[in-house]
Chain A
Amino acid sequence: MMDPSEVEFLAEKELVTIIPNFSHNKFYLISGDIGPFNPGLPVDVPLWLAINMKQRQKCRIQPPEWMNVEFLEAKKQEEKESAVFEAVMNPHFMEMSKLLLTHAADDITNADEVHALIKDLWDIRAAKLRQSVDKL
């Protein structure tokens, strides 16, 4: 069994796009090379680094493609209409959105709505889970 912090730790390995406001050469991590950082140019970094940089006001985080109201609404509808779990946009969408919405809410358009939609999506899925457990 994994506890939430462990799951979050795993989710932090997901790549997100940031727009740094500094320049730095590539740096070499065990998981792979990151950078180079050019001010104003998008670059992919792991979530943990993005959050860290965001907290130090070193970058803006570009929300993942799926983190917008239209997409999530469509997804929610899909989830509602289906009896089984629908494929989610990212296995760690919950953790990612939680992290992003807490630390980089200003970079996400309609952060509140996105938050509500993600929560809805989660609730629908949780309900499905409960239902299937009950059936068992």
Chain B
Amino acid sequence: MQMFHCSGHTEVCYNRSGTTFYSCGEDGGIRIWKHLEDEDHQTLEIGETVRSLRVLGNKVFAGTESNTVQSYLLPDGSPDGILCRFTAPVTHIDLSEDGKKLVAGAGDFAIKVVDLQDTSDQVILQAHSAPILSVAIDPLTEFVASTSCDGSLKIWNISEKSWEKSIVLFPKCSDISLSKTLARIAWKPKDGQLLAIPLEREIQLYERDSWDVLFTLKIEEETLGVTSVVSWCPDGVHLASITSVGFINVWNTSSKKCIKSFKERKDLPLRCVVWNPKTGTSLAFTNNLGQIGILDQVLDGSDQQTKSKPESKETKEDFTDLFDDMADDDLLDAVTQAERKLQEGSDEDMDEDMNLDPDADLRRKDKSLSNLLITDDTSQDGSNIADDTSASVVTEPKSLPPLVTGPKPTPLQKPFIPSSTPVHLSSRFMKWNMVGVIRCYDTDEESSIDVEFHDTSVHHSLHFDNQLNHNMADVNSQAVLLATEGDEDTPSQIRCQYFASWDTQKEWSISMPKDEVVKALALGKDFLAVGTNKRHVRIFTLSGIQKDLFCLPGPVVTMAADEQKMIIVYHQGPGLPGDQCLGFQLYQLSKKAKAVVVDSRLPLSAKSTLTWLGFTVEGTAASVDSNGIVRLYNQQSSAWISVANTKSHAKGKSDHHWIIGMQESPAQIRCVSCKGSTFPPTLPRPTPILLPFQLPLCDLEADKGQLEEMYLREKLMAGTNTAGQDTLMKMFALSCRAEREVRAADVCKMMTTQHAWTLAIKYASRSRKMLLAEKLSEMAAELLRADSSEEEDEDEDDTWQRRRKDPRRRERSDMEEDDHQEEEEEEEDEDADQDDDMPEMKPIPTKHRPLVMKPKQKPSLIPLTPVSSEKRNPFKKSASEAAKETQEEESPTLGGANVFDNMKKRQSNNTDGQKNKKNQKKDKTPPSLRGTKKAQMTLSSMGGKKQEKPSSEGTKSEPKSASQKPASAFQLWFEENKSTIAAEHPEVESETEIFKLAIQKWREVDTETKQKWNHIASNQGSKETEEKDDTSKHESPAAGTTTDKKRKREEDDKENNNNNEKKLKAKNVFAKSGGGSLNKSTINKLANFARD
């Protein structure tokens, strides 16, 4: 025993090789000793009282009274920077076995875990309510154990930054100087399977993961004082403890007995005890007078087991040679294995391979080790030493059981509230969703909760006092829900602030039954739900009625609700190693009853946990896991689809996106980008950012992949059949250009609208892919037939209804030909249009305008009677003649038109047959209706949105073809306002010009007026039909009630037209359709444009 430091707290520590030891004390120096009588020991003058120190390589880390953990370089002791700072003196530091992490505790109740490779990477652990007494880092660097003057022992999970276990074990005091015990705890070296905790008269050993007391070492009667420090021998079997009156005990944890007891002469309180890491046999200790003592050969002789460990290693080295000669393969193998194992065991750095080794392998090794050793012993001719060794070795595998247990079950993920930050923070987000933000401040001065609404029109900000320690919350546009977990004395409670209620009692609270603790909660429309540790889900109305109670199959993880939907995620059982095994239940809570929509497994990425759960604005369930994968639940296909990876947007590896909410259209993820952390601080106020969705498809760099991704995403988000047709067209064009005709045909098969089909066929024929065009037409015809026969069966009643509703249909049957004329006209018209657009269309076919013209488009796939001029309606001359002309002029020039003509002719046979069949079945059905019905449906559902009737049935029955166009709102409006416009622009003479002006005006007219006109138009449409009974023979349906005026106009048109022809030709792209036809078609077209 030597006097080295001035009196006061003194600590000692060995370097890793055990050759030198370092001591520190209140005199402000660190001394470096080769041995106890080292005369020229070195002193590093720190100038601050060093409370704790650790040595790694050429660095000394010292926790000082100046509130910092400093690093010094050896041998000269030059400062190497500050590792971390506190606001009070550092009380204890510890270094992980791999030398990568340093943990420090201080008088300001905080614990910091510093990554020594990157000292900016610090984890702060705060939950103790008194100065930290000691800290200890787990050899596997997963956990930190800490004790504090508040009497508690806490075990922290470093990655989660929260404590897993907290127990009050020690007497409470206000400062370390007043504490009776230093409470220096220690993890079992290498595997950290045990945590030794010195209590007053015993040492408790806690088991890893379960954190239960595995066994207790009782202090014998004769040992006096309070046990305050424990230290593990590097062999992981022996334990040294010291007491406040100078006793040193050495324990064997496998026999659970005290094997040695020493007494320091002066009964002085001992402060520190450490084992020599190399030899594992000597102990260094200090007392509070600044003296250091060393006990050599603690485990020598008196306890054979102790000695065996270091010795056996040596013996084996010898034996390897021995067995080499014997050339016993098995044995040799065993020896090398055993040797490797032992070496690994004694290596400073934990070999990772060893950890990863399958257990079976380890077990085998263990066996071989003991076998080997027994063999060794026998070969040693039963000498005394050998006997000793054998005895020890046989027991040895027993003392190292943790290495051979089966795969460790993955710890179950703890329950959490989506979009909240950890509970232990003094200022944190309890919830951040689409409605508002709930923040919680928990400091010494105040404990309060702030609720702030994004939309101030929902409610003004709220402020609650948080005496009850609410730590869970949710908010929606009706209420704020808070919940506490309670403790032994107070039950768990929920509190609801129903601010949207119309009476004066806005608030209510309710306590859970004894021992039932709220673990998760969710707030939906008019209900709230809580999940408890008893696996109950309790549903309340927002006014506080207990409405429902049901059980979950496993412990709840989290839950979320939106409108009438609720999703609950629970543990289904242990997952694969590293994985969670979660299940989810989706509920639909209607007024009458609650229905489980689905109960199934929740997919997660490998070795990840669920981090967010909620609904999109549109009401689709969504989840996010710790690997940043965002998934949406597609109810149609009952599958979770991964729609985004937030990690791909993160700049650094440690950057995260903290999810707030999601929206499907436009597809966006609302989140907060956190640099270097998993969640945002409350100050400075974080700003949400938006991330896009992107399905993880292959080959996203190429156009093809991008388009496919876009189509899938659009289809998924929209949930309708007609979504993504534009994208499909692009894909089609791309495949065409890449000469992939079969692929193009496949793309076509995915198209759901006739319009898209038409365009595709046109495109194919124009890009000279005749084979493709032909195939497509065949497919289209097939499809059409299938569709119409299906419809026939399904919608019989429907058809009747429709016909009743739309008497015009019936009369139209005899004017069928006329209709077709018109259709043809339209088609040609469009062909012409497209033809003009062709140059532009070729490179980017989807830019074409036809999409804009949907409403007027008459799908050419509809089987038509061959166009013949004889059947033309003589009364429609003014309109259809023009069309005729156009057609005659145009068709020879158009590749597409040819194709269609052929196709039509081909199809007409089929469809005629079909029609006959139908007619037999149902005579009353006019053939034209049969033929056009499908097309009209599709068209109206996809294009005719702005048109008259909103209900699908209505729209179906509403004719959209060109022949009914006169009833359009614009034309009515135009009739009304023509004179005004003409007056306003006297300089304009031609009808067409006026028409154009009118179109411009019409576009400017606001939607309401448009609707009004639409309404009038639709009314007139029906009126018109009545009239038509009389007039149909005389008047073209193209005119309706306004026929007279219209005809006049048309005549005017003609006149004007001739005058303006030249002018128009120059200007108008449609000029080449020439003459009167130009005007008519142009006007029609423009009218449609305006309507769009």
A23 near B455: Cβ-Cβ < 8 Å: yes
Chain B CB count within 10 A is highest, among A19, A22, A40, A42, for A40
- Residue pair B670, A41 in contact (C-beta under 8 Å): yes
Q: Does B159 contact A (CB under 8 A)?
A: no
- Tell me the smallest distance from the CB of B714 to a CB of chain A, in Å: 20
- Residues of chain B within 8 A of A109, CB atoms compared: 684
Contact B457 A22 (CB under 8 A): yes
**Chain A min CB distance to B670 (Å):** 7
Query: Is A39 a contact of B454 with CB atoms below 8 Å?
Result: yes
Closest Cβ of chain A to B427, distance in Å, is: 16
Q: Which residues on B sit within 8 Å (CB–CB) of A62?
A: 687
B770 sits at the interface (CB 8 A): no
| CB-CB nearest in chain B for A62 | B687
- CA separation between A62 and B457, bound complex, in Å? 21
CA distance A84 to B436 in the complex (A): 49
Are A40's CB and B454's CB within 8 A?
yes
Count residues of chain B with CB under 8 A from any CB of chain A: 15
* Per-residue B-contact encoding for A5-49, CB less than 8 Å = 1, 0 else: 000000000000101011100000000000000011110000000
CB contacts under 8 Å to A, within B438-467, are 453-457
Chain B hits for A40, CB < 8 A: 434, 436-437, 454-455, 688
Instruction: Output the least CB separation between A107 and chain B (Å).
Output: 8
With A40-B434, A41-B670, A109-B684 known as contacts, the answer to whether A21 contacts B689 (CB < 8 A) is no
CA distance A17 to B687 in the complex (A): 10
Is B972 an interface position by the 8 A CB rule? no
B454 in contact with A21 (CB, 8 Å) = yes
B74 interface hit (Cβ, 8 Å):
no
CB-CB under 8 A from B942, the residues of chain A are none
Interface string of B610-633 (1 = CB under 8 A from A): 000000000000000000000000
- Complex Cα distance A135/B1067, Å? 62
Residue interface bits B664-685, CB-to-A below 8 A is 1, else 0: 0000001000000000000011
Cα separation A22 to B457 with both chains bound (whole Å):
7
> Please, how many angstroms separate the alpha-carbon atoms of A41 and B670 in the complex?
8
Chain A residues in 8 Å Cβ range of B670:
41
Q: Is the CB of B687 within 8 A of A42?
A: yes
B455 touches A41 (CB 8 A): no
Residues from chain B with Cβ under 8 Å of A60 in the complex? 685
A21 and B688 form a contact (CB under 8 A): no
CA of A23 to CA of B685, assembled, Å: 21
Among candidates B456, B684, B685, B690, residue contacting A41 with C-beta atoms closer than 8 Å = B690
Which B residue sits closest to A23, measured CB to CB? B455
> Given the complex, which residues of B lie within 8 Å of A23, measured CB to CB?
455
Q: Which residue of A lies closest to B660 (CB)?
A: A40
CA distance A39 to B433 in the complex (A): 11
- Smallest beta-carbon distance B179→chain A, Å: 41
Residue of A at shortest CB range from B452? A21
Chain A residues within an 8 Å CB radius of B690: 41-42
Cα-based distance from A39 to B457 in the complex (angstroms): 10
Take A41-B670, A42-B689 as given contacts and tell me if A21 and B455 are in contact as well, using a CB distance cutoff of 8 Å.
yes
**Considering the complex, which residues of chain A in the window 57-87 have a beta carbon less than 8 Å from any beta carbon of chain B?**
57, 60, 62
Cβ of B146 to closest chain A Cβ, rounded Å? 33
A40 to B436, CA, bound (A): 8
Give the distance to chain B from A27, nearest Cβ to Cβ, in Å. 14
CB <8 Å contact, B687 and A39: no
Q: Find the B residue at minimum CB distance from A37.
A: B455
In the bound complex, CA of A41 to CA of B424 (Å): 28
**B 682-726 to A, binary, CB cutoff 8 A, 1 in contact else 0:** 001101111000000000000000000000000000000000000
CB distance from B44 to the nearest CB of A (A): 36
Closest CB in chain B relative to A111 CB, distance in Å? 12
Among A19, A22, A57, the residue within 8 A (CB) of B687 is A19
Give 11 A-B contacts (CB < 8 Å), ordered by A residue: A17-B687, A19-B688, A21-B454, A21-B455, A21-B456, A22-B456, A23-B455, A39-B456, A40-B437, A40-B454, A40-B455
**Chain B residues near A (Cβ < 8 Å):** 434, 436-437, 453-457, 670, 684-685, 687-690
Known: A22-B457, A40-B455, A41-B454. 17 other contacts (CB 8 A): A19-B688, A21-B454, A21-B456, A23-B455, A39-B453, A39-B455, A40-B434, A40-B436, A40-B454, A40-B688, A41-B670, A41-B688, A42-B687, A42-B689, A57-B456, A62-B687, A109-B684
